[in-house]
Amino acid sequence: MSIISVQRLEQFQQKCTAVLRPELRENKEIEHFRGAKKNGNTLVAAAMLSVAFATGAMAHHGWSWAEADQIELAGTIEKISMGGPHPTLNVATANDGVWLVELGNPRQTERSGFVEGVAKPGDQVVALGNRSQDPKEKRMKAVRLTIGDKRYDIYPDRIKTN
């Protein structure tokens, strides 16, 4: 980010503070920001933030990177990450190495019943989902996990088999 962009971002943050904190509105040092609308700084900063947030959100959402057909991937959980933007599992398969299995967003994954503590490294898992369109990438978006005799339907509307 350039120095000018950083300065504009700082100005935008100060303006937001002045608007949200009434005690600062009467402060004469902040008053000069009221005229900033005329030179477009507010609009530029807001546009930059909007683009930054939209780009980040689009980078990890959607299914366009995945094949339409679903596969089953069976293996052993090596690692579980419950953090955002999506919880993930690293799953070691018998013949195809380690795969990255992406789940839904944290709330959606939790609604399926898959919460911290229900699985651990070493557990056997069967993931049903859509693999990456890139055949070199060992990555899939899971719609269902089965661990032992328990099913976790992460995207119930997307499950194509029973």
Q: Find the CATH number of the domain harbouring 110.
A: 2.40.50.1010
**Residue 56 pLDDT grade (very low, low, confident, very high; cuts 50, 70, 90):** very low
Terminal-to-terminal C-alpha distance of the chain: 49
Could you tell me if 56 and 81 lie in one domain? no
Neighbours of 48 (CB within 10 A): 15
Whether 85 and 147 share a structural domain: yes
Pair 39, 70 in one domain = no
Q: Which residue has the tokens 């004469």?
A: 28
Residues 89 and 19 both lie in one domain: no
User: Of 122, 110, 119, 128, which is closest to residue 150 (Cα–Cα)?
Assistant: 119
- Same domain for 136 and 86, yes or no, is yes
Prediction pTM value: 0.63
Give the chain's domain count.
Answer: 2
Q: Is residue 49 located within the same domain as residue 77? A: no
Whether 54 and 71 map to the same domain: the answer is no
Those residues with Cβ within 8 angstroms of residue 26's Cβ, 6 or more apart along the chain or in another chain: none
Q: Which pLDDT belongs to residue 58?
A: 42
**Domain co-membership, 70 together with 88:** yes
DSSP 32-65: GGGGHHHHTHHHHHHHHHHHHHHHHHHHH-SSTT
% of the chain at pLDDT higher than 90 = 57
Rounded Cα distance, 115 and 18, in Å: 41
pLDDT of residue 21 exceeding 60: no
Confidence of residue 134 (pLDDT cuts 50, 70, 90): very high
**Residue 6 confidence class, pLDDT cut points 50, 70, 90:** low
Do both 73 and 25 map to the same domain? no
Last residue of a domain, one of 43, 60, 77: 60
Maximum distance among all alpha carbons in the chain? Answer: 69
Same domain, 139 and 90: yes
Residue by residue, what is the 3-state secondary structure of 92-107?
Answer: ECCCCCEEEEECCCHH
Quickly count: other Cβ atoms within 10 Å of residue 21's Cβ. Answer: 11
Averaged pLDDT of the chain: 80
Q: Any idea which of 8-22, 29-43, 69-83, 123-137 has the lowest mean pLDDT?
A: 29-43
Q: In this structure, are 82 and 152 located in the same domain?
A: yes
Range of the domain at 40: 3-60
Q: What angle do CA 144, 150, 154 make, to 5 degrees?
A: 25
Residues 81 and 148 in one domain: yes
- Beta strands 66-81 and 124-132: pairing type? antiparallel
From 33, 60, 87, the end of a domain falls on 60
